[in-house]
Amino acid sequence: MRKKLLLLLAIMFTLQLAFSQGSPNYDGGLKVKLSEDGKKYFRILSWAQVQGVYSDDVPEESSKLNFNLRRARVLM
């Protein structure tokens, strides 16, 4: 029983790393330089979580697919 639990935990940990989301094009947000040499600046970072919902229980004139903005964050 203990070996099965350890194996299950190892598989779950491995799958978490395998399916994590990342972007090779991410460069740290928008950088706004305040000085000519670039030593003074500020960055703006933003991220969002979007959810798509499909439902058959809607009137005919409405779309069956809706997108919801669940979270939106801006860091400056």
What residue ranges do the domains of the chain occupy? 29-76
List helix spans (H) across the chain. 2-18
Q: What does pTM read for this prediction?
A: 0.47
For residues 41-53, average pLDDT: 92
pLDDT of residue 43: 93
pLDDT computed for residue 22 by the predictor: 66
What's the pLDDT score for residue 37?
A: 93
β-sheet bridge partners, residue 46: 74
Beta strands in the chain (DSSP E): 30-33, 41-54, 65-75
pLDDT, average across residues 5-30: 76
